[in-house]
Amino acid sequence: MDKPTIQYIIEEAIGSGIEEILIITGRSKRAIEDHFDRSIELEFALESKGKKDLLEQVKDISEMINIHYIRQKQPKGLGHAINCAKSFVGNEPFAVLLGDDIVDAKTKPCLKQLIDVYNEYKTTVLGVQEVSYDDVSKYGIVDGKHIENGVYKVKNLVEKPQKEEAPSNIAILGRYIITPEIFEILDNTKPGAGGEIQLTDALKDLATKQAMYAYNFEGKRYDVGNKLGFLQATVEFALKREDLRDEFLEYLINTIEKETDEVALTKEDEIEI
Ligand code: G1P
């Protein structure tokens, strides 16, 4: 749509009460810093053209709160990226939001739901939902016991298991509240699935030392790191926008009708042949 996916994530964090944000970036991702910075030239151009709404939007982004950046120098995995935040985080529990996972929650932002569970249990909480068994090999999977209202006590975790080996279909979907003891563990975590230092492996270790919970959050999650997920999110978010919905819906209906006619014609041709 008209903002990058990372902005949805930052907005979720802010909406959940987070005040300090660290973005772990990497090579050739400077556009992220530029996006959240002030754009004096753009502000001036919008002001002189009298485009007040757009001017406000541009200012809102740069005034969003304190955003800090650290570069992960080598792509050694999610666990390694999280370990880059060690000195920023210090000795406090912290939230992790993965940039590929966008959650559209009805009433309470996904992260706020996890924070509420954290406030009850005062220990690590993983954001989870059930996925199809055909998809378990894409996720960190929880072996847990359901204890109350969508809360599971975590017994074990497996990163990207084969369908046959998965302990359940409860998948970690890019939202975590983690206690700072994870950093000591990450320092010694060896590369796991895909040859990368996996956060799930470090969490598995942490679960043997401290209680850990998983929470089945409310909200539709989109994997914008894959092409189909990105398209689904774009279409569904556009349909929620009052200023676009009617025209876009008409376009979609026409396009689908045209495509369906073409498919029908091709099928008729095949039958004639
Ligand atoms: C990462 C995590 C995985 C988690 C997933 C959620 O995998 O390693 O445990 O389930 O994010 O999106 P990635 O998608 O980076 O391969």
> How far does residue 56's CA lie from ligand 1's centre (Å)?
35
**Percent residues over pLDDT 70 in the chain:** 96
Coil vs helix vs strand at 44: helix
H helices of the chain, in order, are 5-15, 30-36, 40-48, 52-62, 78-83, 86-89, 110-121, 182-187, 199-209, 227-239, 245-272
User: What pLDDT shows up at residue 33?
Assistant: 80
User: What pLDDT shows up at residue 80?
Assistant: 96
Nearest to 135 by CA among 174, 103, 168: 168
The pTM is what? 0.89
User: What pLDDT shows up at residue 273?
Assistant: 62
Question: Distance (Å, rounded) from C-alpha 219 to C-alpha 229?
Answer: 15
User: What pLDDT shows up at residue 237?
Assistant: 94
User: What pLDDT shows up at residue 58?
Assistant: 65
Which residues, 6 or more positions from 78, have their beta carbon under 8 angstroms from its beta carbon? Answer: 98, 196, 197, 198, 199
Find out if CATH 3.90.226.10 is the number for domain 5-238: no
Question: Distance (Å, rounded) from C-alpha 174 to C-alpha 40?
Answer: 34
- Among the atoms of ligand 1, which is closest to the Cα of residue 200? 9
CA 25, 27, 31 angle in degrees (round to 5)? Answer: 65
Average pLDDT of the residues in 253-257:
96
The protein residue whose alpha carbon is closest to atom 5 in ligand 1 is 139
User: What pLDDT shows up at residue 270?
Assistant: 73
Radius of gyration from C-alpha coordinates of the chain: 22
* Torsion sign across C-alpha atoms 25, 29, 30, 31: negative
* C-alpha distance from residue 246 to each of 2, 14, 70 (Å): 17, 30, 42
User: What pLDDT shows up at residue 56?
Assistant: 79
User: What pLDDT shows up at residue 62?
Assistant: 64
Nearest to 114 by CA among 168, 169, 152: 152
> How far does residue 144's CA lie from ligand 1's centre (Å)?
18
> Who lines ligand 1 at CB under 6 A?
78, 98, 100-101, 139-140, 159, 171-174, 198-200
Please give the backbone phi and psi of residue 34, each rounded to the nearest 5 degrees, phi first: -65, -40
Domain ranges of the chain: 5-238, 239-273
Give yes or no for residue 106 having a pLDDT over 90.
yes
- The pLDDT-based confidence of 95 (bands split at 50, 70, 90) is very high
Nearest to 6 by CA among 104, 110, 126, 100: 100
Nearest to 99 by CA among 25, 207, 48: 25
Tens of pLDDT, residue by residue over 21-42, are 999 998 778 788 877 776 677 6
Greater confidence (108 vs 45) lies with: 108
- Yes or no: say if 135 and 222 are a contact pair by the CB < 8 Å rule: no
Q: Give the side-chain half-sphere CA count within 13 A for 114.
A: 35
Tens of pLDDT, residue by residue over 46-55, are 788 787 877 7
Average pLDDT of the residues in 143-155:
97
